[in-house]
Amino acid sequence: MTIRQVPGPDAAFLYGERPEWHFHVSALTIVDASESERFSADEVIDQLRRRLHKLPQFRWKLMEAPLGMRLERPIWVDDPDFDLSNHVHRVGVPSPGDDHALGTLVGRLVSFKIDRSRPLWEIWIIEGLEGGRVGLLAKIHHSMIDGQSGAEMATLLYDLERDPEPLPEPPPYDAEPAPAITQRLVLGGFNAAAWPLRASKMGLQMARQSVTMARHALGDAPPAQPLQGPRTPLNGKLTPDRSFAKGAVSLSDAKKVKDAFEVKLNDVILAISATALRNYLATVDSVPENPLVAQVPVSLRDEANKSDIGTKVANMFCSLATDIDDPVERLRAIHESSQRGKVMRQELTDQQAVNFTETTPPALIAIAARAWSMAELDARTPPIFNLIISNVAGPPFDLFCAGAKIEAMYPMGPLLAGTGVNFTVVSSADRLDFGVMACPSLVPDPWAIAEEFGPALEVLLEAADESA
């Protein structure tokens, strides 16, 4: 019997969760059902039923450490009572079914944590959208998935053609019994015995990484680092409520800008985000003198671990150069900051012998999160960073769901302490879809930001054409 212990980083997402900090990731898929006679909610549910065996983690639930002790990380076990109807729901968007009505509904649905007594995911089929469209909102806890594995998962759940061969009946579900308490206690004993060695490795690692960060900070061109970002209206104490907005730009146009100025596609995405944020902050007279700092997750997945459960990311920090007026100069400054951040991030990753979360008991993570929240440090301390901007590579080809073409996918990442907005971007055949997740107490109108993505790219595209 295999014991699937939750890795340290994923356990941190579980035990660091608070009412105001939701650690699920979401994605809103829009399908055009107007041209499909086959598409229906029942068909979507049936296709999911026939494919679920390809994603065994969707039938796993958490089992806490034995004897109520939170000194050990939990394990994943098969849910013997798994019922698809507990996870897939239907809901209608209020009339007129436009984007703003959809955004309001999505914001409400993602404002609640996932029930931990069951496998940690939900899918909401959202009907009543204008133009015969249907929304599919997926909520999955971050302990199960990251952005890149979510994109890979989409290719398993959707079709490559409108009318593929009918799916066969799935194999019967046979839940494996949970490990006996004696097995859990033995595992806990081995892990407890390893704590001193892990802790010593962690101490040496932190010392090496501190030297590395100090060396970079004292260099001629230091990279952006935590706690360097200015306080803005985007930063402060979070509430449990969430709001959602979306935007999209042309991938081919973004690549034209990339090629014209010899930067990376991610730099263009960061520049679009920076300009949108700068323009938004200008409307409330709050453009800071110092540049905004973004945390940028970087996938650590490769061919060897691309199917692994959980989170496989490292983080780097990048200046968004919002103190620079000229958009092209801003792009160049972002590129330079991103390159410096990548170098430091790689050095820190190479020095990482053990993750901090692997040596920290879940109880301590929960206590630290509770203390931070109760002390309202979000509002009392400088922001660790101003926001998260995540770029995920999606499938470069069309996908279909129950005979309906998928128009767009809008990913949504979580908000961390003190950060009131998150941009998550996914590329498709010729689109960059931006999902904007926000806390309405800090960002009352996320659409005011989302509407700036297109104009931000247009300015860069015009400059690229002029430079040709």
Given CA atoms 324, 326, 329, 334 in this order, what sign does their dihedral have? positive
Give me the percent of the chain exceeding a pLDDT of 90: 55
Is 310 a residue whose pLDDT tops 80?
A: no
179: number of CA atoms within 13 Å, CB side? 22
What average pLDDT is seen over the chain? 87
Within a domain: 192: no
Q: What is the pLDDT of residue 89?
A: 96
Who has greater pLDDT, 265 or 143? 265
Given 87, 141, 142, 216, the catalytic residue: 142
The pLDDT of residue 326 is: 96
* In the predicted structure, residue 191 carries a pLDDT above the cut 70: no
Distance CA 13, CA 297 (A): 15
Q: Which residue has the higher pLDDT, 366 or 252?
A: 252
Q: What is the CATH number of the domain that holds 307?
A: 3.30.559.30
192 pLDDT band, cuts 50/70/90, is low
Q: How many CB atoms lie within 10 A of CB 104?
A: 15
**Could you say which of 161, 184, 207 is where a domain stops?**
184
169 in the same domain as 42 = yes
User: Residue 202: its pLDDT value, please?
Assistant: 67
How confident is the model over 87-116, as a mean pLDDT? Answer: 94
Q: Are residues 384 and 456 in the same domain?
A: yes
Residue pair 213/316 in contact by the 8 Å Cβ criterion? no
Q: Indicate whether 174 belongs to any domain.
A: yes
In the prediction, which pLDDT does 70 show? Answer: 61
281 and 421 inside one domain: yes
What lies within 8 Å, CB to CB, of 151 at 6+ separation is: 392, 393, 394, 395, 426
Q: Per-residue pLDDT for 288 more than 60? A: yes
Q: How many CB atoms lie within 10 A of CB 67?
A: 11
269-273, 277-281, 428-432: which range is least confident on average? 428-432
Does residue 321 sit in the same domain as residue 450? yes
Judged on CB neighbours under 10 Å (0-12, 13-18, 19+), 387 is buried
Q: What's the 3-state SS for 380-402?
A: HCCCCCCEEEEEEECCCCCCEEC
**Residues 302, 248 within the same domain:** yes
155: CATH? 3.30.559.10
Report pLDDT for 371.
78
For residues 80 and 139, the answer to whether their CB atoms sit within 8 Å is no
- Report pLDDT for 262: 96
Among 190-204, 249-263, 306-320, 420-434, the range scoring the smallest mean pLDDT is: 190-204
CA dist 423 → 78, 173, 399 (Å): 34, 38, 23
Q: Is the pLDDT of residue 263 over 70?
A: yes
pLDDT at residue 285 in the model:
86
Residue 215 placed within a domain: no
Domain termination site, one of 162, 184, 206: 184
What's the pLDDT tens digit per position in 143-173? 888 656 666 677 677 898 998 888 899 999 9
DSSP character at residue 413: P
Band of residue 188 on the pLDDT scale cut at 50, 70, 90: low
pLDDT band per the 50, 70, 90 thresholds, residue 219: confident
Residues facing 372 on adjacent strands: none
Structural tokens at position 234: 């985007």
User: Which of 164, 184, 204 is the endpoint of a domain?
Assistant: 184
Helix (H) or strand (E) holding 135: strand 133-141
Does residue 226 share a domain with residue 110? Answer: no
| Residue 111: both structure tokens together | 């404002």
DSSP secondary structure of 421-462: EEEEEEE-SSEEEEEEEE-TTT-S-THHHHTTHHHHHHHHHH
Instruction: Give the CB-side neighbour count of residue 117, counting CA atoms within 13 A.
Output: 3
Whether 109 and 171 map to the same domain: the answer is yes
Domain of 61, in residue numbers = 4-184
Measured distance CA(172)–CA(190) in Å, rounded: 35
- The model's confidence at residue 3, banded by pLDDT at 50, 70 and 90, is confident
Asked if residue 21 and residue 99 are part of one domain, the reply reads yes
24 is catalytic: no
Considering the domain architecture, whether residues 141 and 96 belong to the same structural domain is answered as: yes
**Total of domains in the chain:** 2
Q: Give the pLDDT of residue 452.
A: 97
Any bridge partners for residue 299, and if so which? 313
Q: Are residues 33 and 180 in the same domain?
A: yes
